[in-house]
Amino acid sequence: MIQSIDSFSSRLIRWQRQYGRHDLPWQNTRDAYRIWLSEIMLQQTQVATVIPYYRRFLERFADVTALAAAPVEAVLESWAGLGYYARARNLHRCAQQVVVDHGGQFPGDPRLLAELPGIGRSTAAAICVFAHGVRAAILDGNVKRVVARCFGIEGFPGTGKTEKEMWALVDSLLPDSEVEIYTQGLMDLGATVCTRGNPACAACPLHDICVANRNGRQAELPSARPTKILSEREAPVMLLTDGHSVLLERRPPTGIWGGLLALPEVVPESAEAFVNAHACRLLQTSELPPMRHTFSHFRLTIQPLLCRVEKTGRSTGEPGWQWVAIGEIDSVALPAPIRRLLLQLC
């Protein structure tokens, strides 16, 4: 094991210099704001998807002060389509806390940074490595896959016992120098070579010390998440449209889809009263096929009711409601299943 650990970091550093990624828009900078933004966007999202969002976001919010001063609705709009909107809400809260509690400067201590909203231990380490050159270990999903395969670690990485074992290992793997190159190499290897499906083992600098490669266990490691029985929920929603725009409701700031625009939850029996209350005349209703969406703890069946209406011209005057033009649906912050539904029908 000692020989494997010693060669692990040196091999990664050499490999990253020659084959790693060097021209991503958030590389070659010490700006903690830009590094932090990229790390949050890259959580559960591919690099190719993130790049255009990252660039547009910086055009609108150039620094942490600008982001902190913006309304959360504007942040969600800039995040629209990127998904996992809790990241955007935490991003906004974190920016405000950095400005208020840290004078607009991100802490250089990973332990302090990890206390901020949306920043865990691994993300804090990555930010401090790239922004401040701190010697700290990361353990994101890609790294878990690399070390599970290379060192033959059993058990689902999301369990406390296995994760604790992995943290001890990645701490021991840290080189004494060139930590930034090493850390980027870990990220690059997991993203481009040691992928979840069809890993390119022949191109991997660790192939001859990798337990999974030696024993043909690439498909088994890391261990899969244990099967969990999800509860079922239903949500009747109303798609109220005059053919030009759709009525959407701003969700409460907490809970599922917090702060996003969404279709109102209305049972079919209350459709006409709801339409009248929003200054419209009901022309036609039709039930649409149900949509299923899976969350981490439950499955949601969305039962949409399409209501074609004619506006009477009177404003409801109620906060939280917004008529959105059909041509602008793709640019507002919507839950993924609601976006898919609207884009299919409108």
Closest to 2 measured CA to CA, from 160, 172, 192? 172
In the annotation, is 154 catalytic? no
Name 239's bridge partners. 306
Q: For strand 298-311 and strand 231-241, is the pairing parallel, antiparallel, or unpaired? A: parallel
Q: SS3 for 337?
A: helix
Residue type, 150: C
Report the distance separating Cα 113 and Cα 95, nearest Å.
12
- Which one from 39, 163, 180, 249 is the annotated catalytic residue? 39
What the block records as the tokens of 210 is 């990798």
What the block records as the tokens of 343 is 């884009």
Q: For strand 280-287 and strand 261-262, is the pairing parallel, antiparallel, or unpaired? A: unpaired
Contact 36, 127 (CB under 8 A): yes
- Measured in degrees and rounded to the nearest 5, phi and psi for residue 303 equal -105, 95
Tell me which residues are annotated as active site. 39
